């Protein structure tokens, strides 16, 4: 690669022009990069939701869930299959390994849904998930100056938001809806032998519009269309009903029937309803949730949304309850700040060693150039600017300067020793002297990231942008160091004072090497002792996947018994809201009462949810602990059996895997519920756990109508007739959206009297061939307690009790909880148990990364073997890795950081970074032996003293650059914080200790060869 240096020196003006073009291209690319919090990773999971109106969980499980589970099992590659059967809804989640072709899987699922033989009146929906599919905004919108907020939103704001490039959907909640109600008189309709369904059919029959052939008018064929429309409320009222019975028995005459209009038996009017109540700080509002398209820029879309809303300031006002864009901006600002501080610190470190402003400027020029060139690559590959790419840049700041430091230091040193002064030949030879060292060290650092492909899964996906950012930065820095740096050196070092005598540090270091070489086994034993001592800290560090970010956003829930009305839920909710706002820690609160369930889309009239933002001064843990008990006190005093929940808001970021799960399996639902309750209580008593949940704790009342086949047959009544009649009495029937009086209106038919009790159900009148009979005459009607949800995992009914782990040692707490449940809880013989949680995935990822490190070391060995051509040299260089764990584990212990995935990536990086210093040292020793023919020990000592300054400079520049990242308390950088601490500690220990250890190992490996060469030379002299 020396030809690039020759070309640059000969064509310096052209190189500068190219450099400026790259700078402008990099700035342009950086400005065009999409900004996200995390890489947009699509999870290999699909959720299938099937709605079967009016069915109980048991029926949903039998007629929908079980059928689909059986069919889905034939899909290749399923990792887990879980299902939940709710009232009227079945939700089935299928998880696959990463790298699965999810488009193909989705096609198979859609085909299966068509061929599964499901009931006719079901609707299904298939969803795929990614980080980008979560809402970027939750807003509370208020009416202003008496404006019709629903009209403004529907006709102006929502259409304007949907026009924004990048907006995927806009969902509105809490608004009032107007519909046309047809309320039938139950007694009159019964006498006429009609029902809601028959009235619905007669109304629909009047909305007729069908083609009826064509006629010929001259040379033109004119189509004929038959139409009949009830397009006004008056026409609806005047609709003549076709009577099938008039309160008679089959033996009486049914020929004479009076004319009956719909208005005679029904009340027809427009009504306004609100099935979801939204508030912000106790003030009524409308909620707005906005999602973006998967490939859209979060920050850009968010800014455009606010611009649209601000155009309607006169009609509406708004408050932001949640904004992912704010989190993205904070993360980006934090990482940019840490990166800039790192660049400043690295520059100061270089200046302290070189003590020359020009040399320092040349050395650090690679920082902006490398990062801007990296931006061009990121834009071309459509990689977003997120905490992983920015973290990669922040980490790379210290490393990209290394090659330039080594080049400029060598040129600077050679010029100070040279008597001829500056010349192109001197720069070329100085660059060539260290070219092999910097090239092999850069390639070594790059190849350590290749094994991330071995890991696979989520870890590989999430860290790929991080790795690519560092790879692009290092390749750019190598290019800069052998092109731009030599040119700048030629112009900057024309007048450089000659080198003085050896520095005191170099003299002291030379003596230290000599003593170490004379006491090799003491050095080796001491290294082993330090290494073993560092591993003793591992058990005290703890294991976690990714450390939790602190959050001042709190999610709270209120759940009342399943039959509770929205009015009662609202009354209790208002008391809780008042309590929240009286707390000093609370900044603002957004409330949703009766909101639709995120998973099923069903109305949850018995539930209320709260999004609470705390003030910066609030102690989150204390607030949660104290507030939950207050919530329970208020809720249970209002409604017996009320349940509350309170926890930090989990962002749409990577999973922390800090959960422990106890799965209980049994077909005995009573035993399963009792066992789950015992496990739940046990886990609540564990101080290491928080947010304990039990998915099998709720029961609800259900009315069972058991038809007596003999009696219904005797009366000439069918089961389908009974089903339809009971459904009419309990569920309003929708006619859909009809155009009435010139506007589209939702039309519903209901009875004027609702069934209030089980006795009302028993009294429902049926018309059979023997005359009218009550439902209780032909069926057994009773109320039972049943389960509101039936959940299955891989086809087996199960209960899941979960909790989050407070501490950092996820693996230890998980094992303690699982073993404690097995030993201390007496489970029935027909209930089986399986424990686990996030620690399983974490430990598997740790094992995978361990394999990746082994592969990385092998790749580094091959790289150095190719570079140096000697099998022993790579072993000597890799011996520097012995000291990595010492500093890394000690630094993590001091900082109180657990072992995490980011720490493991840091250790993987260190394999490349640490070998860089060893390569620079060993390369110089090799040159002394091969080119200068120096004796082994003299070559080692001279090489050490010559390379001491560049080794210390590169190490401390990297350490200084990472200090801001390691010491930060900002959010959005924790994924890089553990990595920074790991690299700082490992690089510190390895740099200081390998300066002694590498010379010792080098002499051990080559001393025998040297002795053999001496013996051979003596033998030649004697024989000669």
Q: What is the 3-state secondary structure (H, E, C) of 304-358?
A: HHHHHHHCCCCCEEEEEEEEHHHHHHHHHHHHHHHHHHHHHHHHHHHHHHHCCHH
Reply yes or no on whether the pLDDT at 305 is more than 50: yes
654 by Cβ neighbours in 10 Å (0-12 / 13-18 / 19+) ranks as buried
Reply yes or no on whether the pLDDT at 11 is more than 90: no
Better pLDDT: 20 or 1006: 20
What does the block give as tokens for 303?
């800014």
Lowest mean pLDDT of 230-234, 389-393, 523-527, 951-955, name the range. 230-234
Reply yes or no on whether the pLDDT at 1021 is more than 50: no
Note the pLDDT tens digit of each residue in 115-172.
888 887 788 888 877 665 667 788 888 887 767 788 888 888 888 988 888 888 888 8
The continuous run of DSSP H or E covering 208 comes out as: strand 208-217
Reply yes or no on whether the pLDDT at 224 is more than 70: no
What does the block give as tokens for 172?
């509105």
Apex CA 934: angle with CA 928 and CA 937, to 5°? 95
697 backbone dihedrals φ, ψ, rounded to 5°: -105, -15
Residue 835 forms beta bridges with which residues?
A: 662
Arithmetic mean of pLDDT, 742-763: 73
Arithmetic mean of pLDDT, 483-502: 75
Reply yes or no on whether the pLDDT at 679 is more than 80: yes
Mean per-residue pLDDT of the chain = 79
Cα dihedral 619→623→625→626 (10° resolution): 130
pLDDT at 133: 62
Arithmetic mean of pLDDT, 843-869: 82
Rounded-to-integer distance, Cα 204 and Cα 283, Å: 42
Residue 94 forms beta bridges with which residues?
A: 46, 81
Rounded-to-integer distance, Cα 21 and Cα 482, Å: 18
User: What share of the chain in percent tops pLDDT 70?
Assistant: 84
Note the pLDDT tens digit of each residue in 973-1006.
556 678 888 889 988 888 888 888 888 888 888 8
Reply yes or no on whether the pLDDT at 750 is more than 50: yes
Check the CA dihedral 721-722-725-727 and report its sign: negative
Lowest mean pLDDT of 213-227, 763-777, 842-856, 951-965, name the range. 213-227
Reply yes or no on whether the pLDDT at 1022 is more than 50: no
pLDDT at 467: 85
- What is the pTM assigned to this prediction? 0.75
Do 304 and 136 meet the contact criterion of CB atoms below 8 Å apart? no
In 3D space, the residue among 931, 922, 945, 948 whose CA is nearest the CA of residue 1003 turns out to be 922
Lowest mean pLDDT of 312-321, 413-422, 519-528, 567-576, name the range. 413-422
What does the block give as tokens for 820?
């404690």
Rounded-to-integer distance, Cα 344 and Cα 354, Å: 15
Note the pLDDT tens digit of each residue in 371-413.
899 999 998 988 888 778 887 887 788 788 888 888 888 887 7
Reply yes or no on whether the pLDDT at 496 is more than 80: no
In 3D space, the residue among 535, 539, 538 whose CA is nearest the CA of residue 883 turns out to be 535
Note the pLDDT tens digit of each residue in 709-743.
777 787 777 777 777 677 666 666 766 676 776 67
pLDDT at 247: 45
pLDDT at 28: 92
Give residue 213's pLDDT band: very low, low, confident or very high (50, 70, 90): low
Do 173 and 596 meet the contact criterion of CB atoms below 8 Å apart? yes
pLDDT at 1009: 55
pLDDT at 210: 53
pLDDT at 373: 92
Q: Which residues contact 967 (CB under 8 A, 6 or more apart)?
A: none
Reply yes or no on whether the pLDDT at 249 is more than 50: no
Better pLDDT: 1 or 576: 576
Note the pLDDT tens digit of each residue in 632-677.
888 888 888 788 888 777 654 555 567 788 888 888 878 888 888 8
Reply yes or no on whether the pLDDT at 202 is more than 80: no
Better pLDDT: 1021 or 106: 106
Reply yes or no on whether the pLDDT at 837 is more than 80: no
pLDDT at 5: 83
pLDDT at 25: 92
Arithmetic mean of pLDDT, 343-358: 81
User: What share of the chain in percent tops pLDDT 90?
Assistant: 3
Check the CA dihedral 766-768-772-773 and report its sign: negative
Reply yes or no on whether the pLDDT at 452 is more than 80: no
What does the block give as tokens for 593?
């009462």
Helices 387-417 and 324-354: crossing angle in degrees, nearest 10, is 10
Strands 607-614, 790-793: pairing kind? unpaired
Note the pLDDT tens digit of each residue in 894-949.
888 888 888 888 888 888 888 888 888 888 888 888 888 888 888 889 888 888 88
Arithmetic mean of pLDDT, 300-313: 87
Reply yes or no on whether the pLDDT at 1023 is more than 50: no
């Amino acid at each position: 690669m020396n030809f690039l240096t020759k070309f640059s020196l000969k064509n310096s003006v052209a190189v500068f022009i190219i450099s400026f073009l790259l700078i402008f291209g990099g700035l342009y690319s950086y400005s065009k990069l999409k900004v996200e919090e995390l890489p947009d990773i699509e999870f290999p999971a699909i959720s299938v939701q099937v709605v079967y109106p009016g069915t109980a969980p048991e029926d949903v499980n039998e007629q929908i869930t079980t059928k689909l589970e059986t069919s889905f099992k034939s899909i290749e590659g399923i990792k887990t299959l879980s299902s939940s059967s709710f009232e009227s809804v079945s939700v089935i989640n299928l998880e696959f390994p990463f790298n699965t072709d999810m488009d193909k899987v989705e096609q198979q699922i859609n085909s299966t849904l068509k061929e599964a033989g499901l009931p006719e009146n079901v609707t299904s929906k298939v969803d795929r998930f990614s980080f980008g599919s979560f809402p970027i905004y939750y807003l509370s919108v208020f009416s202003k100056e008496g404006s019709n907020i629903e009209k403004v939103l529907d006709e102006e704001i929502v259409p304007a938001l949907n026009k924004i490039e990048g907006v995927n959907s806009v969902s509105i909640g809490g608004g009032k809806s107007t519909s046309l109600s047809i309320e039938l008189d139950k007694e009159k309709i019964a006498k006429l032998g009609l029902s809601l369904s028959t009235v619905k059919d007669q109304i629909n029959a009047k909305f007729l519009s069908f083609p009826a052939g064509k006629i010929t008018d001259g040379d033109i064929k004119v189509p004929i269309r038959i139409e009949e429309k009830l397009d006004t409320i008056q026409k609806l009222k005047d609709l003549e009903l076709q009577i099938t019975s008039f309160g008679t028995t089959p033996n009486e005459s049914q020929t004479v029937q009076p004319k009956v209009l719909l208005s005679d038996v029904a009340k027809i009017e427009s009504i306004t309803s609100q099935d979801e109540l939204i508030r912000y700080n106790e003030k009524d509002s409308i909620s707005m949730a906005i999602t973006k398209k998967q490939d859209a820029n979060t920050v850009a879309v968010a800014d455009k949304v606010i611009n649209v809303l601000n155009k309607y300031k006169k009609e509406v006002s708004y408050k932001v309850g949640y904004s992912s864009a704010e989190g993205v901006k904070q993360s980006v600002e934090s990482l940019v700040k840490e990166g800039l501080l790192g660049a400043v610190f690295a520059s100061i470190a270089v200046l302290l060693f070189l003590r020359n402003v020009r040399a320092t400027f040349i050395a650090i020029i690679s920082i902006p150039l490398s990062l801007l060139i990296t931006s061009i690559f990121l834009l071309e590959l459509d990689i977003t600017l997120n905490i992983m790419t920015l973290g990669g840049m922040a980490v790379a700041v210290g490393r990209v300067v290394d090659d330039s430091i080594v080049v400029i230091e060598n040129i600077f040193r050679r010029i100070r020793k040279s008597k001829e002064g500056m010349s192109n030949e001197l720069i070329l030879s100085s660059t060539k002297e260290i070219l092999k060292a910097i090239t092999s060290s850069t390639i070594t650092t790059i190849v350590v990231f290749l094994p991330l492909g071995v890991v696979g899964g989520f870890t590989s996906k999430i860290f790929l942008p991080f790795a690519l950012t560092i790879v692009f930065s290092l390749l750019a820095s190598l290019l800069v160091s052998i092109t731009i740096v030599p040119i700048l050196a030629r112009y900057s070092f024309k007048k450089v004072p000659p080198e003085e005598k050896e520095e005191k540090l170099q003299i002291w270091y030379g003596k230290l090497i000599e003593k170490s070489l004379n006491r090799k086994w003491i050095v080796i034993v001491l290294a082993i002792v330090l290494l073993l001592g560092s591993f003793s800290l591992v058990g005290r560090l703890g294991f976690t996947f990714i450390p939790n970010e602190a959050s001042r956003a709190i999610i709270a829930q209120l759940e009342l018994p399943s039959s509770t009305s929205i009015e009662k839920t609202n009354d209790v909710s208002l008391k809780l809201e008042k309590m929240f706002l009286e707390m000093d820690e609370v900044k603002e609160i957004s409330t949703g009462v009766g909101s639709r369930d995120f998973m099923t889309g069903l109305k949850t009239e018995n539930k209320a949810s709260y999004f609470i933002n705390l003030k910066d001064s609030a102690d989150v843990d204390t607030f949660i602990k104290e507030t939950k008990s207050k919530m329970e006190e208020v809720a249970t005093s209002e409604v017996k059996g009320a349940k509350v929940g309170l926890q930090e808001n989990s962002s749409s970021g990577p999973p922390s895997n800090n959960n422990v799960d106890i799965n209980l399996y049994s077909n005995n639902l009573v035993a399963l519920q009792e066992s789950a309750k015992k496990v739940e209580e046990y886990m609540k008593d564990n101080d290491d756990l928080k947010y304990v949940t039990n998915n099998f704790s709720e029961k609800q009342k259900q009315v069972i109508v058991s038809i007596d086949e003999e009696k219904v047959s005797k009366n000439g009544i069918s089961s389908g007739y009974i089903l339809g009649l009971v459904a009419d009495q309990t569920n309003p029937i929708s006619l859909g959206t009809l155009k009435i009086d010139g506007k589209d209106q939702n039309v519903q038919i209901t009875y004027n009297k609702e069934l209030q009790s089980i006795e009302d159900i028993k009294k429902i009148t049926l018309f059979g061939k023997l005359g009218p009979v009550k439902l209780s005459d032909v069926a057994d009607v009773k109320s039972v307690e049943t389960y509101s949800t039936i959940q299955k995992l891989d086809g087996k009914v199960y209960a899941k009790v979960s909790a989050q782990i407070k501490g950092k040692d996820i693996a230890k707490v998980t094992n303690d909880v699982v073993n404690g449940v097995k030993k201390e809880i007496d489970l029935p013989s027909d209930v089986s148990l399986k424990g686990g949680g996030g620690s399983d995935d974490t430990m598997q990822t740790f094992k995978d990364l361990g394999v990746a490190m082994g592969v990385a070391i092998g790749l580094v060995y091959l790289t150095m073997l190719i570079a140096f051509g000697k099998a022993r040299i790579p072993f000597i260089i890799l011996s520097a890795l012995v000291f990595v764990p010492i500093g890394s584990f000690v630094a993590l212990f001091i900082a109180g950081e657990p072992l995490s995935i980011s720490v493991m990536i840091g250790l993987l990086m260190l394999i490349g970074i640490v070998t860089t210093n060893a390569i620079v040292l060993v390369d110089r020793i090799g040159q002394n032996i091969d080119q200068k023919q120096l004796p082994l020990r003299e070559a080692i000592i001279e090489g050490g003293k010559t390379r001491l300054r560049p080794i210390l400079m590169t190490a401390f520049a990297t350490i200084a650059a990472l200090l801001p990242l390691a010491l930060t308390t900002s959010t959005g950088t924790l994924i890089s914080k553990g990595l920074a601490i790991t690299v700082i500690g490992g690089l510190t220990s390895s740099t200081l200790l390998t300066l002694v250890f590498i010379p010792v190992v080098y002499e051990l490996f080559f001393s025998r060869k040297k002795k053999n060469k001496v013996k051979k030379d003596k033998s030649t002299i004697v024989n000669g």
